[in-house]
A and B are shown apart, each in its own frame.
Chain A
């Protein structure tokens, strides 16, 4: 065999070089560096000096009341936002999947939040949440409910975050569920209708079970993204809430290396590594669900084919 000329052999390198350099500097190196910093105790970025190597940062972070609060808040937030948004999204996605008119209008309404700045929209929500003049409290008063101090007190803060969070995550959730729904063979619906099944029965006995893999996937994806919540804190409260009580895990990272002076890189890194571990676990779960749903779908296809052959 002949060998390719030298230039020919290193050609792929030219194509990859800009990409690899950029990824190495701004993705690969930062990851390694953060893991390294998380183990360096008393690390000073400017001088590169540190006092020891060990789990000191982790111990500090875990015993930090702000971090505990952050974990607590984050989990409460995830456990509220994800299930509620999933239920709403399943219903809306199913309605949108029917042959409804005004598709352009509905798509615009439901998906516009995906492309707009969460900061700007957050400010609009802050305006709506206003304790005295906000439209939400006005609507509540029409229904005879006492005004909620959305911005003014700690429990109100949390409710506001959850409402804004659900609103913000719905579009993406609906889109994923819609593509899952479009993968369901319409033959099932035809068969069920021929058998005389009513709408609700079709929904619970056919749609939901067949959509289950997608729903699982969406739940995990949303858990990952809600777990990283902190953007919303800036427009709503200009920081971690009225009484420094709305810390979340990622806000904690941001706080340690950006708000604290001098920056606590060690603590921020240790918290970031813990975040990575949690996200890693969820991602593995997501992979497993994806693999499972692919398998399920493969069997579905076979089943549908069998049905079709039987019908012929």
Chain B
């Protein structure tokens, strides 16, 4: 099912949680709503599920206007961070419950519930109570319960954040597998960029209620729309060095060192950030751009080098034949990809 969001605004009393939000989500995709806490992603999810209604704007499921339609009529499945399983019911009863409400005959609902349990791999614990399950198992049951009524749309609200690190990776792969097997359009809310990158077809990145960028995960990383997007994604975080534009060149730091990076149509004197990914730095001692080594550390098969560039400590993955020493002066240059220039005030991207 295709979802169309048109100019959605949601205000609570005097603060605006979501502001002029428009997007189209294609049928069968898994789209992640990503952003720091308070960015409006959960509010957006609640408006999709019908728990909240928007102040302005329209929501369409295919061609149906569902903006003010109540939850139960929308045919959405919802999975919560705390699972929200009914503690007094067994796993089977939990999964059956939505069908019971829809008055599906008992035999049929048990059949369907069992099929769902198999899909999410909890078929062996149908008679247990939620309290007897691990967090991961509870989440599987919650997903089964959300899917059993064959929703048009599956909504997952930070489903992994109550799990420990190892389970989180396992469960996100599971969610992806289940989503691909069922083909249900899915919206996944998270604040964890790694989770979003690994699971999604598309990511919607939000900040303070405003959509920042809506793209494929790799695009978000390679072509961030603005400084916030570049900062938010990537581990280690992107390096940021202050600079200023003069004659189409980006000059770094107080000493105005030439970064060899050129921008077009930017007025002289514009304060900017030169942002670059750690993998976009190359060691080149012939380069006029000089830096000083602080520390090298081995992380698995890669070596990460911290160095000072224009007064700012930054990091890069650099291949070197000889071991770099502390305080050693090196020359560096940048690759074509993974290097961006942003306006320091507006965050607008120039390169």
Residues of A within 8 A of B (CB): 1-2
Contacts and interface: CB of A to CB of B under 8 A. Distances in A.
B260 interface: no
4 contacts: A1-B53, A1-B55, A2-B53, A2-B68
A1 B56 CA distance: 8
Interface in B46-71: 53, 55, 68
A2 B55 CA distance: 10
Nearest to A2: B68
Contacts of B53: 1-2
A1 B68 CA distance: 9
Contacts of A2: 53, 68
A1 B55 CA distance: 6
A46 B9 CA distance: 65
A2 B52 CA distance: 12
Interface in B33-54: 53
A162 to B, nearest CB: 49
Contacts of A1: 53, 55
A301 B211 CA distance: 43
Contacts of B55: 1
B8 to A, nearest CB: 14
List of 3 A-B pairs having minimum Cβ-Cβ separation, nearest first: A2-B68, A2-B53, A1-B53
A7 to B, nearest CB: 13
Nearest to B54: A1
Contacts of B68: 2
A160 B171 CA distance: 71
A3 to B, nearest CB: 10
A1 B54 CA distance: 8
A1 B53 CA distance: 8
B160 to A, nearest CB: 31
A179 B133 CA distance: 33
A1 B9 CA distance: 12
B113 to A, nearest CB: 30
A6 to B, nearest CB: 15
A2 B68 CA distance: 7
A40 B55 CA distance: 57
A10 B53 CA distance: 20
Nearest to B68: A2
Nearest to A8: B70
A201 B53 CA distance: 63
Interface string B210-243: 0000000000000000000000000000000000
Interface in B66-82: 68
Nearest to A4: B70
A1 to B, nearest CB: 7
A285 to B, nearest CB: 38
B74 to A, nearest CB: 15
A130 B329 CA distance: 106
B7 to A, nearest CB: 16
B67 to A, nearest CB: 9
A1 B67 CA distance: 10
B234 to A, nearest CB: 35
Interface in B288-314: none
B49 to A, nearest CB: 17
B256 to A, nearest CB: 48
A8 to B, nearest CB: 9
Nearest to B67: A2
